[in-house]
Structure 1
Amino acid sequence: MIGVLLLGILALVVGGCVCVVWADRGGPRWTRAVAAATVGTGQVLRRYQKSQRREVGGDAGGDGD
């Protein structure tokens, strides 16, 4: 069951990346919408990871980011 879920997530990620490239090359309108959602989701996840790093480790002993 978990394997099926992970395969589904992987398919969504790969499909989103394909839409980002296709939209950059002038694809149809729906690819631009999917690309915007993919990029927005990536930005939200990056912010979430940064906030988690601050809560867990703080700035002491960081890797210089």
Structure 2
Amino acid sequence: MIALVLLGILALVVGGCVCVVWAERGGPRWARAVAAVTLGAGELLRSFGKNRDQGLGQSADDGD
């Protein structure tokens, strides 16, 4: 059961990444919408990870 859930999440992530690439190349409106949601979710997860690292007293330096 857990494998099916993880497989579903993986399919959503891969599909989102495909839509990001397709939208960059001028894809349809729905692909641009999915790409915007995918990029927004990525930013949200990135900021959540940085806040979590700072809360644990670790460095939030991303290597830039």
**What is the TM-score normalised by the length of structure 1?**
0.89
> Identity over the aligned pairs, expressed in percent?
64
- 1:36 and 2:36 correspond: yes
Question: Matched residue pairs, number?
Answer: 61
Which aligned runs of 4 or more in structure 1 are off by greater than 2 angstroms? Answer: none
Select the structure of larger CA radius of gyration: 1
Deviations 1:17-63 (A, max 9, x none): 0000000000000000000000000000000000110111x15xx4x
C-alpha RMSD of matched pairs (Å): 1.2
Letter in 2 for 1:35: A
- Which blocks of at least 5 consecutive residues in structure 1 are unaligned? none
| Cross-structure match for 2:51 | 51
- Which blocks of at least 5 consecutive residues in structure 2 are unaligned? none
